[in-house]
């Protein structure tokens, strides 16, 4: 199979500057940030509203792509497992998934809550979060 090409649709801006500062998967994040969508993708934002929960896919551009086994959640007292059985950011294709609450939309900038990804991480896609046919919403 040939190469797969992904083109970022935007970039995340937030206060999380180091991996140690990012919440773990088991933490509920209260961090806020903005997702800047590139102008050529403006039309793709139609239908996203304040109060929506969106699923955002990120390309973890600073992740080590050579690591195939990790201690789950960084706990060295636990035996190593393959990265495909964990949510570790280090993996052959470092794609991350976050559910974020849209707090505000201004042109092509989404203000979001629930950030658990490093500042300046490329955004590769956004999807609607659907639960029972309705948009899932988190409390304010």
Distances (CA, A) of 88 to 6, 19, 47, 98, 113: 21, 12, 32, 13, 21
- pLDDT mean across residues, the chain: 88
pLDDT band of residue 27 (cuts 50, 70, 90) is low
Give the distance, in angstroms, between the CA of residue 91 and the centroid of all CA atoms in the same chain: 15
CB-side exposure of 94: number of CA atoms within 13 Å? 18
pLDDT band of residue 19 (cuts 50, 70, 90) is confident
State how far the Cα of 34 lies from the Cα of 36, in Å rounded to an integer.
Answer: 6
pLDDT of amino acid 26: 55
pLDDT band of residue 21 (cuts 50, 70, 90) is confident
pLDDT of amino acid 76: 93
Whether pLDDT at 87 is above 80: yes
pLDDT of amino acid 133: 40
- Evaluate whether 9 touches 41 at the Cβ level (below 8 Å): yes
Residue 5: beta bridge partners? Answer: none
pLDDT of amino acid 131: 54
50 vs 138, more confident: 50
Residue-range domain boundaries for the chain: 10-121+131-135
Which residues in 102-119 are b (16+ Cβ under 10 Å) and which e?
Answer: bbebeebebbbbbbbbbb
> What is the homologous superfamily of the domain 10-121+131-135 according to CATH?
YaeB-like (2.40.30.70)
pLDDT of amino acid 129: 85
28 vs 126, more confident: 126
Low-confidence winner among 28-32, 38-42, 52-56, 88-92 (lowest mean pLDDT): 28-32
**Burial (CB count <10 Å: 0-12, 13-18, 19+), residue 74:** exposed
- Region 84-105: what's the mean pLDDT? 92
- Region 101-130: what's the mean pLDDT? 94
């Amino acid at each position: 199979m040939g190469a797969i090409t992904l083109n970022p649709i935007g970039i995340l801006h937030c206060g999380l500057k180091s991996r140690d500062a990012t919440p773990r998967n088991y933490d509920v994040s209260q961090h806020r940030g903005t997702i800047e969508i590139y102008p050529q993708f403006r039309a793709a934002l139609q239908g996203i509203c304040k109060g929506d929960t969106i699923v955002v896919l990120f390309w973890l551009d600073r992740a080590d792509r050579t690591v195939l086994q990790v201690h789950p959640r960084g706990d060295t007292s636990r035996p190593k497992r393959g990265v495909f059985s964990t949510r570790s950011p280090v993996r052959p294709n470092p794609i991350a998934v976050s559910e974020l609450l849209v707090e505000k939309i201004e042109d092509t900038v989404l203000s979001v809550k629930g950030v658990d990804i490093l500042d300046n991480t490329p955004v590769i896609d956004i999807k609607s979060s659907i639960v029972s046919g309705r948009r899932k919403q988190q409390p304010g």
